[in-house]
Structure 1
Amino acid sequence: MMKAWNKVENFIDSLSEWLGKIGWVIIFYVMAFGLFDVIMRYFFDSPSLWISTTIQYAMVLLACVSGAYALNSGSFVKLDIFYEKFPPKVKAIVDILTFSLTFLYLYVLITKGIEAAQASFMLKQETPTAVPIPLYHLKAIIPFAAFCVLLVAIKKLVIDVRIVLGYHQVDKVENN
């Protein structure tokens, strides 16, 4: 049973790392094309019709792909006023209790995201700009990304349950 779960954890870790790498590419795109657009607009008085729209699109994509990576690597900002001082078992219990809120949020995001994506596909929704860019692809990525975050949250839940039951050793690095 543990070998199978280790494979699942490795898959979730690989998926979140892959999404994190996509995030780095998106950041590079936003920086490069944002700089290019500013230079074209202010130095050559020739603004782009499509760059600002694609940067907005890319920022939504970045928010989508970075969620699973950030949760898996412990990069989310936390209110550590009390939590930081808790022993590992108490942290695990708090995390288990807050999982229900995480699950509820992700459930709504996934189900409503699927509905919005289906409607967008049916309408062939595009940006209302000079250069129309399809939006339905982006809306389809949102529930997929939420599902990836849910996978990471479930992985963290299993680890927390194992910590509470005494089956999982907590390293200083892992305890974030």
Structure 2
Amino acid sequence: MLFRLVDGLNEVVGKVVAWVAVIFAALIIYDVVLRYVFNAPTLWAFDLTKGLFGFYFILLGGYALRHQSHVRVDLVTSALRPSPRRIAEMAGYLLFFFPFAWVFTHQSYLFAARAWAQGETTYGAIQMPVYPFKIAMAVAAVLLLLQGISEFLKLLLNRTGETTNDR
């Protein structure tokens, strides 16, 4: 089914993007060593690590939703029985998540398209391209929206228990 495909996609993306944290840490260590041990700071490491952190943070949204790791306000739903809880969660997706995810997807696409068309770069000593990070934001928005659809379908079809063994 669709939710298995989307769940698998976000699982793979989450595991691949997790390696960005290793690269991110290595770059910071490299820059610190060059700066303080050899007194030869890099011009590019700060901008690159800032971009990688954004890349890392934003692309894990779908993965976090898949594993129910987002911040949730369960004051109302925790007191409900399973069936009314499912209905309340589905209503939450319809009223809050999907409108947000649609706006995020649409606006991040426009943001990325504009950056691509302009060949946008950072300002400062070294001008790194910005559009790859903005494109990553649009991809992340699509992944989050797809994962939301998957989670909604699981609630609708009462298949929420299928992902608990993955946690």
TM-score for both structures, normalised by structure 2: 0.88
Counterpart code for 2:164: V
- Alignment size in residue pairs: 165
Aligned CA distance change for structure 1 residues 70 and 169 (closer, same or farther; 3 Å)? closer
Q: Would you say 1:45 and 2:39 are equivalent positions?
A: yes
CA distance in 2, matches of 1:117, 1:106: 16
Matched, 1:173 2:164: yes
CA contact (8 A) 1:120 1:139 kept: yes
Work out whether residues 67 and 149 of structure 1, in 8 Å CA contact, stay in contact via their aligned partners in 2. Answer: yes
2:15 alignment partner in structure 1: 21
TM-superposed CA distance for 1:96, in Å, is 0.9
Please report how far the alpha carbon of residue 91 of structure 1 lies from its aligned counterpart in structure 2 after TM superposition. 2.3
Equivalent-residue separation in structure 2 for 1:85 and 1:153 (angstroms)? 23
What amino acid is the match of 1:108? V
The one-letter code sitting in structure 2 at the alignment partner of 1:28 is V
Q: Distance in 1 between matches of 2:76 and 2:89?
A: 13
2:147 paired with 1:152: yes
Deviation per CA, 1:37-86, whole angstroms, max 9, x where unpaired? Answer: 12222222221111111111111111221001000111112233443343
Pick from 26, 29, 53 the counterpart of residue 32 of structure 1: 26
1:61 equivalent to 2:55? Answer yes
1:7-156 alignment runs, 5 A limit:
8-100=2-94, 101-156=96-151
C-alpha distance in 2, partners of 1:74/1:62?
A: 18
Letter in 2 for 1:18: V
Gap change, CA 1:86 and 1:44, over 3 Å in 2: farther
Tell me the SS of whatever aligns to 1:131. Answer: coil
When the two chains are superposed, the root-mean-square deviation of aligned CA atoms in Å is 2.1
Percent identical: 22
In structure 1, distance between residues paired with 2:160 and 2:21 = 36
The change in CA–CA distance for 1:62 and 1:97 in structure 2 (over 3 A counts) is same
Asked whether the equivalents of residues 154 and 160 of structure 2 are also in contact (C-alpha less than 8 Å), the reply is no
Residues 150-173 of structure 1, C-alpha deviations (whole Å, 9 max, x = no match): 11101111111123xxxx474793
SS of residue in 2 equivalent to 1:95: helix
Once the two structures are TM-superposed, the CA of residue 92 in structure 1 deviates from its matched residue by 1.3
Letter in 2 for 1:146: A
What TM-score does the superposition give when structure 1 sets the normalisation length? Answer: 0.84
